[in-house]
Structure 1
């Protein structure tokens, strides 16, 4: 196989490098490689992923409300300079045990993924990371536990649902597999940015509910549907042909999709012809339904701390990104109505804790400019409060 050199970006930084990759401790457990055969019969590596990162085997389990908050606020993104080139895999739970974690993440299990990336610092600091404030980027996605045929072990399969504008980094609004968005040697972020992918699971949110006609529906499916709608709106700019984005809009618009999904779920429950009879017929789903309703209330308080819905969220008005025609004052007012979703790092922590509060679990996958060694870059953490 061969790993051809990549082309530098506008900042004269290499998206990835294979320099000294064989000396990394991650090399001991191996890499997944993606690519194609060339004419000479060599396999050309287009993307790669550290095998140990995606294994359903946590390096560490953090238990308890205080310990979890400390990890999220201080440890997860702390001391990044020393973490360059390293990964971590940590399970979080307010009452989770290591034994439960090993059995809860079974084959076929699906969960919501919360993605946040940091900045590029060092000798080749990117322009957006040169100021005192660096927001980072936010996205939702889906993680599923699958059985890897090569090793017969369980691993995470990850797809991101990017709510963003098309750009020169090759990011496209829509669904992107981990090997494309993170692992791609030419366009991915694995070697360039520090990343936190938090996988959150809660039976009431990820499980199926049986309706009156025998069909099964999952709240997670509704979230994916709303994310796909929002991504499609970004691709066409709500019919204008294009859209613009500011540092906070990726977070707010992704959470608009989550808010819309929660409203649809609540509406579906309330519109059931006989909800009390349904509860009696499906006692095993009653606890999950109560979990879902409690989660919905907590997330509503998080996403809308002033207790009122943003007009563009409530009515799904054709307002997204930061268009040139935006009224700056009105845009500021809309943002303040959901101010917690301005900061990707803060939003990720708060949404994660909302799931944990209801008895869920979280699995945090952290990478810090992983791959070959590039002395010209350093990881930069996204800001929080």
Structure 2
């Protein structure tokens, strides 16, 4: 599925200050389509040789963010050069503007900003394993000290469990690293659990009974080598299950720079955000059973893609509306539950996998797979706390797993998984469900409140964020927590508002 990004070009700069309009040349002023649409900003580029910001100086064009329906601009530039994040620099994403006078490329027009320090594989704080780690996730992460406006942090929460390393061959290099920078290598992946809070202050956004629920999603973080700095960094892609909205956010895979850093739609300047990167080899690394590959991460992303497609069309109704039983947090975790059941069924119906596990009881891959099964059971208890699967979830499971198993069988047989003509559905599933006209029609469903209560642990974003990450932590995962609190310039009209765990919007 295509991923949303910001701009065709990017650079790494320190911001030196905003240039007052009357200081710009007259020609440039005349070239502006309309006064007040953007500001000119002095920057200095990163120098790969000195590894300092002593490269070329430049002037870039940064648009003024339009106020939202509550009168709050998504990002402000006032005082951004004093931001603690400016020391390590900002990635600027955008393209070259066309001067209306000369009709030739002129200044660089910035569409998004991303703080370099947040993406560096360098923690600002380390938390020991055990009770201290659990307390950090459930309490300290959103404490007043960690929610100071304009601040950001990268917190390394250490693992307390087993070593999954396997040194038997190049295809089975399961790495359980030490800490900090040594934890990650290029090509590593992590599961992302995302949560944002609310907007308080003089221009606070409306709430229901004073409760802020926030927003929840999953994503994938890849460790890459930055071409500009030659250092390891995280590249985060959210899998946003997002209802139709007035903010221009579409349910789809989306890069951090677009979802958080976009100057017109991004949240980094207005909301407190927690992104937990989960490093857990039983989930983040694939399994190879004599040529039969099982990939928990790829399976999960596939299920999230299916759910995002449903949200884009509203299951065929044209409108995706948040209800207690259908929401970002409920349906993101529905995709997680379906992933667990899909892997269970794939293993159960593939004798070759069971044979491999039985004949390699002490192999590191077998140990890793056992850890995956243990985690799956714990997550299943979390996602279905009453032990009863929701009817709508079960119907999605039946269709999704049927498709997954058909694709896997065809792949092993060397056939086109989409049918001989590349489009036929051979699963036998009721495709009308996604159009809202099959057995998933509201008339045949229980009341939405009952559906929501049957999965009450995933009813609220904050609870799901804390409890899901804690389950991973207790099973041996290491966590890398990225926290931002309305970073960038200074907007005196707003303050961070912590998401609640009680019932609300």
- What TM bracket, shorter-length normalisation? over 0.9
Corresponding residue for residue 70 of structure 1: 135
Aligned residue for 1:149, secondary structure, equals coil
* In 2, Cα distance between equivalents of 1:347 and 1:144: 23
Shift of 1:368: 0.4
Corresponding residue for residue 39 of structure 1: 98
Mapping of 1:118-129 within 5 angstroms? Answer: 118-128=197-207
Counterpart among 116, 135, 159 of residue 195 in structure 2: 116
1:382 aligns with 2:499: yes
Which structure shows the bigger proportion of residues in helix conformation? 1
Structure 2 residues without counterparts, runs of 5 or longer: 1-59, 100-105, 162-175, 398-432
1:129-171 C-alpha deviation (Å, 9 max, x unpaired): x632211100111111111010111111011111122311111
Counterpart among 375, 395, 398 of residue 295 in structure 1: 375
* In 2, Cα distance between equivalents of 1:175 and 1:252: 18
Which structure is larger by alpha-carbon Rg, 1 or 2? 2
* In 1, Cα distance between equivalents of 2:375 and 2:287: 16
Shift of 1:63: 1.5
User: Aligned in 2, Cα 1:136/1:80: closer, same or farther, shift over 3 Å?
Assistant: farther
Aligned residue for 2:484, secondary structure, equals strand
Shift of 1:13: 0.8
* In 1, Cα distance between equivalents of 2:255 and 2:124: 24
Deviates more, 1:33-42 or 1:327-336: 327-336
Corresponding residue for residue 16 of structure 2: none
**Contact 2:244/2:320, CA 8 A, preserved across alignment:** no
Shift of 1:56: 0.7
**Contact 1:135/1:343, CA 8 A, preserved across alignment:** yes
* In 2, Cα distance between equivalents of 1:225 and 1:149: 29
* In 2, Cα distance between equivalents of 1:78 and 1:327: 44
Corresponding residue for residue 262 of structure 1: 340
Shift of 1:349: 1.2
* In 2, Cα distance between equivalents of 1:381 and 1:293: 34
Aligned residue for 2:467, secondary structure, equals helix
Corresponding residue for residue 356 of structure 1: 473
Shift of 1:336: 1.1
* In 2, Cα distance between equivalents of 1:76 and 1:255: 22
Counterpart among 142, 145, 150 of residue 85 in structure 1: 150
Structure 1 residues without counterparts, runs of 5 or longer: none
User: Aligned in 2, Cα 1:329/1:262: closer, same or farther, shift over 3 Å?
Assistant: closer
1:3 aligns with 2:82: no
Shift of 1:94: 4.1
Corresponding residue for residue 368 of structure 1: 485
Aligned residues: 382
Shift of 1:118: 0.3
* In 1, Cα distance between equivalents of 2:333 and 2:212: 20
* In 2, Cα distance between equivalents of 1:275 and 1:35: 48
1:287-335 C-alpha deviation (Å, 9 max, x unpaired): 11001100100100111111221121122185999x9968997211111
* In 2, Cα distance between equivalents of 1:19 and 1:7: 15
Shift of 1:382: 0.6
Counterpart among 194, 197, 207 of residue 272 in structure 2: 194
**Contact 1:81/1:379, CA 8 A, preserved across alignment:** no
* In 1, Cα distance between equivalents of 2:487 and 2:145: 12
Corresponding residue for residue 230 of structure 1: 307
**Contact 1:80/1:368, CA 8 A, preserved across alignment:** no
* In 2, Cα distance between equivalents of 1:63 and 1:51: 25
RMSD of aligned residue pairs (Cα, Å)? 2.4
User: Aligned in 2, Cα 1:378/1:326: closer, same or farther, shift over 3 Å?
Assistant: farther
Counterpart among 439, 455, 460 of residue 338 in structure 1: 455
> Which protein has greater RCO, CA pairs closer than 8 Å, 6+ apart?
1
1:195-233 C-alpha deviation (Å, 9 max, x unpaired): 001111211111111144x14331000000000000001
1:309 aligns with 2:389: yes
User: Aligned in 2, Cα 1:327/1:370: closer, same or farther, shift over 3 Å?
Assistant: farther
1:160 aligns with 2:244: no
User: Aligned in 2, Cα 1:71/1:294: closer, same or farther, shift over 3 Å?
Assistant: same
* In 2, Cα distance between equivalents of 1:230 and 1:103: 35
* In 1, Cα distance between equivalents of 2:323 and 2:481: 26
Shift of 1:264: 0.4
Mapping of 1:16-31 within 5 angstroms? Answer: 16-31=75-90
Deviates more, 1:246-255 or 1:283-292: 246-255
**Contact 2:201/2:493, CA 8 A, preserved across alignment:** yes
User: Aligned in 2, Cα 1:16/1:324: closer, same or farther, shift over 3 Å?
Assistant: farther
User: Aligned in 2, Cα 1:256/1:352: closer, same or farther, shift over 3 Å?
Assistant: same
1:272 aligns with 2:337: no
